[in-house]
Amino acid sequence: MVRADPLIGSVIAERYRLDRRIASTDISVVYEAADLRAEAPGEAPGEAAERRCAVKILHAAREDVAARCIREAEAMARVANAHVVEALDHGILPSRNVFIAMEFLDGESLSATLEREGPLPWRRVVHLGRQIAEAAAATHAEGIIHRDIKPGNCMRIDRDGDPDFVKLLDFGISRNLDARFPTLTAQGAVLGTPAYMAPELTATGEPSIASDIYSFGATLYQLLTGSLPFTGETLVDYYYHHCYTPLTPPSQRAPEALPEGLEALVLRAMSKAPEGRFPSMIAAIDALDALLPTGERPPPVQVPERVAPARSSGSLEAETITSATPRPAEEVDSSDVDTNVRSPGGLDETPVHETELGDGTPLPFAATRTAATPGMSMPARSSVRGELLLPRSGLLIRGAVLAALVGLFTV
């Protein structure tokens, strides 16, 4: 039986009225909401008004997930940049569910734009890419690695007359570079999305500015060609391709001729060795600006530059948010879900599971599992599909066994 979301119309934290469920992910549900204490833009002080916002509510049972959610809010609050989604508030409900209130973005993700329009003209990609790079540079300046840069986490909205204004979303798996901020990720865990992950993460699992730059390059590649740099059916496939398969130049897959400088930019950003990539996002922005005539170049980005440290070997990322035990999904009313209007968080619709807010109101929730695997020196492909022979370790990894150990993943 299909049921409507029971939280619709309720008020949480004595402030946010949940009006519409936008999407759900494996650890959260996101709603379009009204901030009953705020004044809408353009309203005089004291006038009755409701500011629209997005509210993400986390499942209460996972302490690590709750800590990650709070970290997401704090990370967003630290980054003051027009191209980073704004965090308005966060807290813990009586039920122990953590919530984040964020600015509401009325638009669509770049992945939705790609699905509707196909490959984008290169000048448009330069404009979009520069904004993504600026947002990432701002996060790096604050000592934060995003870890999941991809079209699905880049929101395109209409602002200040620009229909291609970009906001970078989803800091839920970000990582602080500064020692004073604790890391919440288990050693060796790899978080991100397999199609955009940097090769070195298969060996070290350590995210860096360089791994964000790789994901940025993969994002540009997809925007230009309409295709992922590499595809695979298993996590091992993605690891293998990112580590060892030569990248097909985007000019061979794009529907229009690309400037040589743009192709060189993408290939450099996606170098398999971290030291072969741009030293910083600011350097990538400079390379993007150089593609345009002098009179068309935007003003320099006003973000402090944080340079990637020299490293000896290269990177890879994978989409994983580990859950304790997979639970059966329960249906909700899909009419409440708008796949074109997305809130901050890079969220894809998934089945939902019910838990409860403190007052007994059920909360939709779903859990999925994924994980990572190692490998560096050139492996031999077995004739058995899904097998990799890794000479460095001498291990034969069978896809079926690996899947049983680490769970399924979704790109």
The pLDDT of residue 250 is above 60: yes
Query: Does one domain contain both 144 and 253?
Result: yes
Domain assignment of residue 84, yes or no: yes
- In whole angstroms, give the CA distance from residue 284 to residue 261: 12
Please state whether beta strands 16-24 and 98-103 pair in parallel, antiparallel, or not at all (unpaired): unpaired
Domain assignment of residue 258, yes or no: yes
Nearest CA-CA partner of 34 in 23, 22, 20: 20
Range of the domain at 348: 11-105+338-365
Query: Does one domain contain both 33 and 142?
Result: no
Most confident of 22-26, 41-45, 362-366, 389-393: 22-26
Query: Does one domain contain both 141 and 245?
Result: yes
> Which of 296, 322, 350 marks a domain boundary?
296
Query: Does one domain contain both 287 and 158?
Result: yes
The pLDDT of residue 243 is above 90: yes
Query: With contact defined as beta carbons under 8 Å apart, do 385 and 346 qualify?
Result: no
- In whole angstroms, give the CA distance from residue 210 to residue 270: 9
Q: Among 148, 170, 212, 237, which one carries the catalytic annotation?
A: 148
pLDDT at residue 43, as a whole number: 55
pLDDT at residue 325, as a whole number: 28
> Which of 264, 296, 328 marks a domain boundary?
296
Query: Does one domain contain both 164 and 270?
Result: yes
Is 157 buried (19+), middle (13-18) or exposed (0-12) by CB count in 10 A? middle
The pLDDT of residue 390 is above 60: no
Domain assignment of residue 332, yes or no: no
Share of the chain above pLDDT 90, in %: 45
Place of tokens 């946010």: 16
Instruction: Give the CA angle between residues 367, 373, 375 to the nearest 5°.
Output: 165
The pLDDT of residue 79 is above 90: no
The chain-wide mean pLDDT, for the chain, equals 74
According to DSSP, residue 7 is labeled T
Domain assignment of residue 347, yes or no: yes
Q: Residue range 101-114: average pLDDT? A: 95
Query: With contact defined as beta carbons under 8 Å apart, do 191 and 319 qualify?
Result: yes
Q: Is the entire prediction scored with pTM above 0.75?
A: no
Taking only the tens place, the pLDDT of each residue in 177-189 is: 433 333 334 344 4
Query: Does one domain contain both 153 and 100?
Result: no
User: Using 50, 70 and 90 to split pLDDT, how confident is the model at 343?
Assistant: very low
Query: Does one domain contain both 73 and 139?
Result: no
The pLDDT of residue 153 is above 90: yes
pLDDT at residue 328, as a whole number: 33
Give catalytic status of residue 148 as yes or no: yes
Query: Does one domain contain both 241 and 343?
Result: no
Place of tokens 């979303």: 169
Query: Where residue 85 sits, what CATH number does that domain have?
Result: 3.30.200.20
Query: Does one domain contain both 126 and 264?
Result: yes
Query: Does one domain contain both 125 and 53?
Result: no
Domain assignment of residue 393, yes or no: no
Query: Does one domain contain both 64 and 83?
Result: yes
Q: How many domains does the chain have?
A: 2
User: Using 50, 70 and 90 to split pLDDT, how confident is the model at 149?
Assistant: very high
The alpha-helical segments, DSSP class H, found in 60-109 are: 63-78
Residue by residue, DSSP assigns 195-240 as GG--GGGGTT----HHHHHHHHHHHHHHHHHSS-S---SSHHHHHH
> Which of 350, 365, 380 marks a domain boundary?
365
Is 312 buried (19+), middle (13-18) or exposed (0-12) by CB count in 10 A? exposed
Query: Does one domain contain both 211 and 185?
Result: yes
Domain assignment of residue 320, yes or no: no
Termini Cα distance of the chain: 29
Domain assignment of residue 289, yes or no: yes
Query: Where residue 251 sits, what CATH number does that domain have?
Result: 1.10.510.10
Domain assignment of residue 153, yes or no: yes
